Structure 1
Amino acid sequence: MLTDVLPYLACPHCGGGLTASRTAVRCATGHGFDVARQGYVNLLSGRASVGGDSADMVASRAAFLDAGHYAPIARAVAGAAGDAGGCVADVGAGTGHHLAAVLDAVPDRVGLALEISKPALRRAARAHPHIGAVGCDVWGTLPVRTGTISVALNVFAPRNPAELGRILAPDGVLVVVSPTTEHLAGLVADLGLLTVPPDKAQHIAGQLAPGLRPSTQDTCEFELALSHGDVLSLVGMGPSAWHVGLDTVRERVAVLPEPVRTTASVVVTAFRRA
């Protein structure tokens, strides 16, 4: 709920604290933001740099994740997050799926889902009783108080190193999930999807240095057996849907043997202050 995360939020215009009524969130200087009927609040201070995922992409992501295909990744993220209480902020939260898993692991936490896509925000606001969903541009200044976040998550999402470092508490941890070159390798070749650079993990570490350094790093790798519908959801929830085009993907998926077997392979890295 939004009331759970209000102590961690800041007005995007003046940086002041926020309080809530039934239908709006306000700061002491009078800046007000309406709460959507789905339960999220939009704290954009201006025009967003990106539009975010479409309703179709979000629906594909929800279908794939809710089916449990990436459950090992959710468990790995929860493990890397540790057992600290306080607020967990998922920057680029999507539907709130991984954030909900982290909250389930430690019941006294609250979760802040930061996301630009309205269709994703609608789902994130309902993903867990202790999630507050907030619309913002993850490439800009986040509407979050400095040094207040115990755990920050960045799962297959854009990274804003300066803001991730700013919001993190002195003893906080940032958990980043990124694909390896082996992630969905068979599908990538068969369907002509976007490939992963071989130095992806090193590039991320370089982005976050020198303020944040890796403290733990584990590879999460497991086999997937997917129906054709699952494959279409998997492709439809990511940027490859734009790169290849869904009509082309459908044609290529239709000739694959079913179930479609592939390997999920990601690196889960916990970063702490240098």
Structure 2
Amino acid sequence: MLADVIEHLACPVCRGDLVLSGGTARCANGHGFDVARQGYVSLRTGSAPAGTADTPAMVEARARFLGAGHFAPVAERLREVAGTAGVVLDAGAGTGHYLAAALGPDAVGIALDISKHALKRAARAHPRIGAVVADVWRPLPVKDGRAGVLLNVFAPRNGPEFARVLAPGGTLAVVTPTSRHLEPLVGELGLLSVGEDKERRLGETLAGRFAEAGHMIEEYEIMLGHEDVEAAVGMGPSAWHTDPVARKIEIARLPGVLAVNVSCRISMFRKIT
């Protein structure tokens, strides 16, 4: 709930403390932000469109696919990384699936995402998650040094802001796909592929603020039917670049059950002080 994390949040206008009062998050300078009936609050400023925020259809596909346990080993690795951290922040949290899995018995979670549709689910993914609409590319509505662990799973990265909100000695855990992720679906359906230089670009976005403390490759095979394949495609960036009708036709041509590779790199970083 927002009440569990409000002390760690900052007014996006003046950076002042926020308190909850009558269904509104307010600061001492009079800036107020209404809490939606689904339990999330928007601390996103500006009037620019949300760009590639997850749509309701993408959120439904993501919830269906993750709920089936296809990425459960990845979530388990993140639980191990989070350990006993008191505050876990997920930048680009989506439905809150990974954040909920990572929280220890005494931890609270802050789910940041630009999609209000995703945060409707994140707000109820765990009783100690506070869901906040925010743009990862802009200053985050979180106070300095509050997160013991910061998760970034298949999401954009803002190196300067991640360093600001991460506590001294904290861990940034970044999950990125390898070039083998979701094969043979990528080739069979013409999905977006992972660039050869993805690891180099990851290092560049965090250079000067973070040092890699280790990494692991989580790779295994899952068996997917047509509905699972449709959810896998519909929840990711390829959903923006494929026609739903054409996608159904292409998926119908696949074998009834297909062996698909899950391959992710989980990189741990420490903030450079």
CA contact (8 A) 1:191 1:252 kept: yes
Aligned equivalents of 2:246 and 2:216: distance in 1?
35
Aligned equivalents of 1:199 and 1:272: distance in 2?
22
Aligned equivalents of 1:49 and 1:87: distance in 2?
30
What residue ranges of structure 1 are gaps of 5+ in the alignment? Answer: none
Equivalent residues in 2 for 1:101-180 (5 A)?
101-103=101-103, 106-180=104-178
1:203: how far off?
Answer: 1.6
Name the counterpart of 1:55.
Answer: 56
Name the counterpart of 1:25.
Answer: 25
Amino acid in structure 2 at the alignment position of 1:144: V
1:50: how far off?
Answer: 2.9
What residue ranges of structure 2 are gaps of 5+ in the alignment? Answer: none
Sequence identity (%)? 52
CA contact (8 A) 1:139 1:159 kept: yes
Q: SS of the counterpart of 1:25? A: strand
Residue-by-residue CA offset, 1:220-271 (whole Å, 9 max, x unaligned) = 0010101100000000001111212222211111011121111000000111
Q: SS of the counterpart of 1:244? A: coil
Aligned equivalents of 2:55 and 2:8: distance in 1?
28
Name the counterpart of 2:201.
Answer: 203
CA contact (8 A) 2:178 2:264 kept: yes
Name the counterpart of 1:78.
Answer: 79
Q: SS of the counterpart of 2:184? A: helix
Name the counterpart of 1:66.
Answer: 67
**Once superposed, what is the RMSD of the aligned Cα atoms?**
1.1
Name the counterpart of 2:248.
Answer: 250
1:80: how far off?
Answer: 2.3
TM-score w.r.t. the length of structure 1 is: 0.96
CA contact (8 A) 2:219 2:262 kept: yes
Q: SS of the counterpart of 1:185? A: coil
Amino acid in structure 2 at the alignment position of 1:128: H
Aligned equivalents of 1:264 and 1:215: distance in 2?
23
CA contact (8 A) 1:228 1:254 kept: yes
Aligned equivalents of 2:85 and 2:75: distance in 1?
18
Aligned equivalents of 2:47 and 2:74: distance in 1?
33
Amino acid in structure 2 at the alignment position of 1:101: A
Extract structure 1 runs of 4+ deviating beyond 4 A.
none
- For structure 1, which segment, 107-116 or 237-246, has the greater mean C-alpha deviation from structure 2 after superposition? 237-246
Q: Does 1:34 align with 2:15?
A: no
